[in-house]
Amino acid sequence: MFLTRRAFGTGAVSMATASPATIAPPLRLPPAARPAVALTLDACPGAFDERLAHALADNGIAATIFLTALWIRMNPDGLAFLLAHRDLFSLQNHGARHLPPILGNRSVYGLKAAGTWDAIRTEIVAGADAIYDASGGNPTWYRGASALYSPEVLDPIRKMGFGIGGFSLNADMGASLSAGAVASRIAKAQDGDVILGHINQPLRPSGTGIAAGAAALKRQGMDFVWLPSVAENN
């Protein structure tokens, strides 16, 4: 049985102060005894990249998966696979409807921004609820759709109890790169890197590049870890 949902505080962000700029807060891992990276994969709306998920499972490579509620609804088999490998996959919050956490009437990468703090808060809470309902676990990291944020909403999101799921190495540029290009970007990862890729595009070549690049890094002795507890990072 699932226990209670977590309670989220309310907060207010004034639209009047919304700045037009957006930011992508960088994130690296805290220093560790052994060289380590975090592989983080977004499950935006789309399908399940079985090739990538199976390769990670076969190689024992841990990853943090940022799930949207839309993806959870569309991919029951993919969700079941992730849940069957909870030792490898940490499930975190990519929002309910994949609305960028950006204030104002605008779009980024073809995605309409949530627009208001209320809409952003709903996106985050409903995303967390969907993960709780699917897994019984409460996510502690939130990565907004587009990974871009209005600066004004970062602290309110942290006050809701979420770390901001930034990154330091963009491996696939929105799942747009060739397998070879993705693998060579991942091969250059350094100790502490948080690597960003996608697990919702099974028809694109980038997913096989993530699998190959991560396996090569692991063979070289790199540890793959989850994002740390938020308390360490905030």
Select 45 or 228, whichever has its Cβ closest to Zn ion.
45
The CB-of-29 to Zn ion minimum distance in angstroms stands at 21
What does DSSP say about strands 89-93 and 223-224: parallel, antiparallel, or unpaired? unpaired
Token code pair at residue 118:
């209320």
The contacts of residue 79 (CB under 8 Å, 6+ apart) are 72, 134
Q: Which is nearer to Zn ion, 197 or 222 (CB)?
A: 197
CB of 42 to Zn ion, least distance (A): 4
Size of the site for Zn ion (CB under 5 A): 3
Integer Cα distance of 39 and 224 in angstroms: 7
182 touches Zn ion by CB under 5 A? no
Q: Given the structure tokens 């190495």, which residue do they identify?
A: 169
Query: Minimum Å distance from CB 156 to Zn ion?
Result: 20
DSSP structural state of residue 4:
P
Q: What is the CA 83 to chain-centroid distance, rounded?
A: 16
Nearer to Zn ion, 182 or 222 (CB): 182
* Minimum gap (Å) between residue 32 Cβ and Zn ion: 27
- Between 118 and 157, how does the x/- string for binding to Zn ion read (CB under 5 A)? ---------------------------x------------
What is the distance between the alpha carbons of residues 33 and 12, in angstroms, rounded to a whole number?
41
Smallest distance, Å, CB 44 to Zn ion?
Answer: 3
**Of residues 11-30, those binding Zn ion (CB under 5 A):** none
For Zn ion, the closer of residues 68 and 135 by Cβ is: 68
Q: How many angstroms separate the CA atoms of 139 and 8, rounded? A: 12
Q: Does 171 bind Zn ion (CB under 5 A)?
A: no
Residue with Cβ nearer Zn ion (123 or 129): 123
- Shortest Cβ 43–Zn ion spacing (Å): 8
C-alpha to C-alpha distance for 210 and 199, rounded to whole angstroms: 9
Binding status of residue 63 toward Zn ion by CB under 5 A:
no
Interaction residues for Zn ion, span 30-49 (CB under 5 A): 42, 44
Least distance in angstroms from the C-beta of 2 to Zn ion: 26
What is the C-alpha separation between 105 and 115, in angstroms, rounded? Answer: 6
Instruction: Look up residue 197 and give its two tokens.
Output: 């890729």
Which residue number places its CB atom closest to Zn ion? 44
Q: Which residues bind Zn ion (CB under 5 A)?
A: 42, 44, 145
